[in-house]
Structure 1
Amino acid sequence: MKKAIIMALLFAAGSALSPASAQNRKKDKKEKQQTECMQPCRTAPVELKTASDSLSYAAGMAMTRGLNKYLANQFGVKESQMPDFLCGLRKGIESRKDSAFAAYVAGLVICSQVEKTMLPNMSSQFEGTSAPINPDLLYQGFVAALSKDTVLFGQEAAEKFFEKKQVELKAQKEAETKAKNEAYLTENGKKEGVVTLPDGLQYRIIRKGDGAVPKETDRVQVAYEGKTIDGKVFDATARHGVESDTFAVNGLIKGWTEALQMMPVGSKWEIVIPQQLAYGARGAGKDIAPYSTLIFTLELKGIEPAADKEVRQAEPAKPVPAKKLSAKTVRKNVKK
């Protein structure tokens, strides 16, 4: 009998600790919080007694136009999460003149900014190095600095250590990238049909055209796909919703400018561009790392007629086939 009672108690304890039970308790807690949050509205029904009352109430409703879409786009708030949003909103309205609550909200805002912008940017700098960023420890260091906690690092010492490692790891990562890309060029140059020019540009003819060959001053219509040596496609004509893109031959990266002046219209080549003929040490945005070798499938569709070219003289040349570049990078390429 005693054994049966003990077994029953153990079974009950196991049920209480089961995942389903824990999930139910979590759900009940959430519903309780939402219910408590909504209580003020239930205990104080709104009455519109004057013209001012009606205007103020209507103004509040009018101000929310487009807010649901904004919440979804900027904060990722789903329709099913609106009760949680409203709970926070009511708390904010209730405490809007409380300076302590304002400081609390500032903490939430800063955390959101770190999570959405600062942390991803910081992590990307050290991705692929021997010391990638640990988000949990980054946050602990963030809090320690603001709490004046100097047990592990003083502020100045932390900044000096970070800057030193940032330089070291950046150099290490770039050296590894450079060596990897140079090795790819060496192996690719051994493949059948690949021609390597004195400056390092490589090309392989997929289809031989029989049309005119562009000059440096021409504008050309091309269809292309660009990728890095790991096979990641960073840009392509197919992504632009057009059959071809139009570029000024002399407004492109060196590898493109050189290759285009050897291709008859109708040609389709694979060109492999070493970093010194592409973006070199600066790279291009998040998709093209410094010292990257670039691989393009390039089809020359045609040369823009002279009449059209004259009409477009005032139009700035598109500098590079990679579209997702910063304005600063575009300006640099245009000046080349």
Structure 2
Amino acid sequence: MKFLFIPVLFLFFACDSTEKTTASAEVVNLTTFEDKLSYSLGADHAHSISESGDPYFDKYKIDELVKGFEAGFTDSTVFDQACEETMRKLYGPEGQKFDTTYVNEGSNCLGKLSGIVFKASWKKKGALSKINFKKAVIGFRHGLMRIDTLVSKAEQGKMIQTFFEDLNKMNGTAMLEKARKLPNTVATASGIILQTLKAGSGGKPAPGDDILAHYILMNSMGDTLQSSFEMVNVYKQPLNAFSLNGVVPGWQEGMPMMQKGGTYKLYLPYQLAYGEAGMFNPQSNSYDIQPFESLIFYIELLNYGKPGTLTKNNVNR
């Protein structure tokens, strides 16, 4: 989605709002694993609001946030132009003020956007059937109020991490099974799948050779994680060669199957990509590649050479 006002840039996982409201007296029973997981997912989603550092946190209205969250989960169209206009009025055109006249409507709209994002993200991962939304709403409310203690923080983190990793495995397996049925594919005993999109006319690299290639890295859901085309065309960085000795096992095995000048898709099970650890980025404090993430690479093999023949010309920036 694209929005026209500055504050919404941090609404997805950074906005904040909590009334200092007295905790509900209702008895909440979390009797099953699904109940605890759903509660934890709702609370975790709320933390992106309640722990974002938003200076207007205490002015938002929890009840309106929760109502909006439920509405957004139910209907992805509720964050409409009227909500955009409300948010502009709430924060001002440059995001430099906070007009309490619009705090009720604004809190509701923020909740709507949060509910839309919550549903869309888990739907894409194929996880909605595993979430009890009523329990997630309770967790969301408690997370906003910072009283989400029905499941300990440590247990919340462990449950969510395990859940996410299991989804990565499931989606990776589904992606690989689908790839096996595509035309012009070869599957190896190790589990990689190579699809030829355009056959090359040159030779094939040997293990350990230098490689010059354009690539697009995607996760098992087809989301682009990294692109050499973007690096070169947008960020004006050089396209450097690399050694096959310095890449993931799936590339070490797959590249010698390709011909110079060809275009391919390389499907890698997580064991031959970044494994159980994934790739953590300390600068962003997040994963560039998730643990247990099977990957897809679109590859154009431009050139190859003996070890050291191409990498010696790399430009360092």
Q: TM (normalized to structure 2)?
A: 0.49
Task: Considering Cα pairs closer than 8 Å and 6+ residues apart, tell me whether 1 or 2 has the greater RCO.
Answer: 2
Q: TM (normalized to structure 1)?
A: 0.47
- Bigger helix share: 1
